[in-house]
Amino acid sequence: MLRRAWLRLWATPVFTLFAVVSLALGVGVTTAIYSVILSLTRTVIDVPNAGQVGLIVGTDALAGRRPIWRSAISQADFDELRRSLTTGAPEASALFYQSAVTTATAEMVSGEAVTGNYFQLLGLAPAKGRLIQAADEASSARVAVISYTLWRARLAEDPSVIGTPIRIGGQPFEIIGVTPDGFDGLSIRFQTPSSVWIPLSASAVSSASGAASADEADRRKRQLSVLVPLAGGKSVRALSDEVRAVGARLDRAFPIESRHDTTAAPTREPREWSVGSITAVTRQLDSQFSRVEMGIMAIVGLVLVVACTNLANLVLARGSARTHELAVRRALGASRSRLVTEQLAETSLLAGMAFSAAGTATVHALQYPVGEATHTSHGLGNAVLMPSVMKAILKSRIPEMAFIARAFDSNLAKVSDQEAAEQAPELVAKLGDKVMIPRGLGNIGMKREQIGEMAELATSVKRLLDNSPVSFDKEALIGILEEAY
């Protein structure tokens, strides 16, 4: 049956090629966008003391009193919280976006100015050197901690990084430590991970974070995110009541007036504070994005629906052209079920060819061990590996790669298939750049010495490698991983 279906498809090469490429492109685009969405939907990162740390949640008056914990409290109000809370000293961080210049790199980075025991409260230990301590905050020390991701991606895990200078926002600091692998700040979805941390007190002096200014005259400058220890035998509800009481007292002593509408009389903005565990706050924030995500997912699904609809129309048109043939075969005794089975065999064969032509099998085979080693989502690893796998299969898939390249850049219609196909991997990589997919396996946590092990493990995923458009042995897979690193 499959042999007959293959012969029929072989007899109509234009139809077969168009159907395969159309479906492969639909599957590839849909998979890529789903992967991007999955990589963007980051929840609060897991930290050792997640169950012992709470977040103070405020409200955003400009967004219908939507709950927020990032940049929810002013410096002056935070100082009052420090004096008033009985369960333990709160810690705070202020986000900033500044230039960071080292001896090896210069770039704009997201960072945080933090209080002295911020890392201690989260239960974090340094990967190298030390983290910011209370003494650094007390002395406004010009010290900085960099993320493991930045250390690996920009400084090649240089062991001598401790003690080297770094300029943040034009001000001099000294690198004293590296955060543990996997910690990039308390970043939630759609927020850029942090790459550098400095003492909060030093940021006020150096203006590396204008967010940290403790201006008693303007308590509306809410730039601090505040963490509180869930300890001392007090429940989250009791701690929330205590925080709410401090807010009510500050409302009476230092009322905040809304000035968003200059044509109307000022209105009071109460400090509607509460406390929630990291897990609870994350779940609450997740729900705010769920509708947006569902809408995006539906739109992405339509891409695949359009591709399938186009293919269905082609099959129906082809079937109409075969009406006479099918009528004759039916008259000669062919059963209805046999004719239907043959049609299903042809369409199934087209679908299988589309997936093979897309070259996704090798990507998935490599990502299984890579994802396990780096603790990254399957979609993110696929996106990082895809350009390198495309390069590896390019010579055997010139027409398909040319088709993909021209879908990105219509100017490539003027060049040969070979020239267009050679552009496809880089065009896909640039698409990843635009949606913040990191380039290189090293940037998602894989170490170079793991390449051989990853290739060895990938060779065991025979069900995928056997379906690859090109046969790969261990050495070939090592080559792909080296190129992707």
Distance CA 205, CA 342 (A): 77
Average confidence (pLDDT) over 164-193: 84
Distance CA 342, CA 74 (A): 71
The phi-psi region of residue 218 (left if phi > 0; otherwise alpha if psi is between -120 and 50; otherwise beta) is: beta
User: What's the pLDDT score for residue 214?
Assistant: 42
User: What's the pLDDT score for residue 60?
Assistant: 73
- 55 φ/ψ angles, rounded to the nearest 5 degrees: -115, 135
User: What's the pLDDT score for residue 93?
Assistant: 92
Per-residue pLDDT of 255-303, as tens digits, reads 877 655 555 566 677 888 988 877 677 666 655 555 666 676 677 777 7
E-state strands within 212-314: 222-229, 257-258, 267-268, 274-277
194 close to 187: Cβ distance less than 8 angstroms? yes
94 close to 224: Cβ distance less than 8 angstroms? yes
- 107's enclosing H/E stretch is strand 106-114
Greatest Cα pair distance in the chain: 96
Assign 206 a pLDDT band (cuts: 50, 70, 90). very low
Comparing CA positions, the residue from 286, 257, 370, 252 lying closest to residue 67 is: 286
Which residue did the predictor score with more confidence, 446 or 113? 113
Distance CA 401, CA 71 (A): 46
User: What's the pLDDT score for residue 208?
Assistant: 38
Task: Look at the block and give the residue holding tokens 């991606």.
Answer: 153
Per-residue pLDDT of 121-136, as tens digits, reads 999 999 999 999 999 9
Question: Which string of b and e fits 187-219 if b means at least 16 CB within 10 Å?
Answer: bbbebebbbbbbbbbbbbebebbebbbeeeeeb
User: Is residue 442 predicted with pLDDT exceeding 80?
Assistant: yes
Task: Look at the block and give the residue holding tokens 């080296």.
Answer: 482
- Among 330-344, 441-455, 456-470, name the one with the lowest average pLDDT: 330-344
User: What's the pLDDT score for residue 205?
Assistant: 40
User: Is residue 354 predicted with pLDDT exceeding 90?
Assistant: no
Q: Which CATH architecture has domain 2-42+293-484?
A: Up-down Bundle (1.20)
- Among 170-184, 414-428, 464-478, name the one with the lowest average pLDDT: 464-478
12 close to 318: Cβ distance less than 8 angstroms? yes
Which residue did the predictor score with more confidence, 86 or 116? 116
User: Is residue 160 predicted with pLDDT exceeding 70?
Assistant: yes
Amino acid at residue number 237: R
User: What's the pLDDT score for residue 403?
Assistant: 74
- Kindly compute the dihedral angle of the four CA atoms of residues 349, 351, 353, 356, in this order, to the nearest 10 degrees: -140
Q: Where exactly does CATH 1.20.1090.10 map onto the chain?
A: 2-42+293-484
User: What's the pLDDT score for residue 61?
Assistant: 65
- How far, CA to CA in Å, does 180 sit from each of 129, 130, 187? 11, 11, 15
Q: What residues does 106 pair with on adjacent strands?
A: 101
Two structure tokens written together for 273: 């504070």
Distance CA 403, CA 423 (A): 11
User: What's the pLDDT score for residue 463?
Assistant: 67
Per-residue pLDDT of 177-189, as tens digits, reads 999 988 888 765 5
Q: Is the dihedral of CA 332, 337, 342, 343 positive or negative?
A: positive
Assign 190 a pLDDT band (cuts: 50, 70, 90). low
User: What's the pLDDT score for residue 211?
Assistant: 41
User: Is residue 212 predicted with pLDDT exceeding 50?
Assistant: no
Residue 265 burial by Cβ neighbours in a 10 Å radius (0-12, 13-18, 19+): exposed
User: Is residue 2 predicted with pLDDT exceeding 70?
Assistant: no
* 286: DSSP letter: H
User: Is residue 417 predicted with pLDDT exceeding 90?
Assistant: no
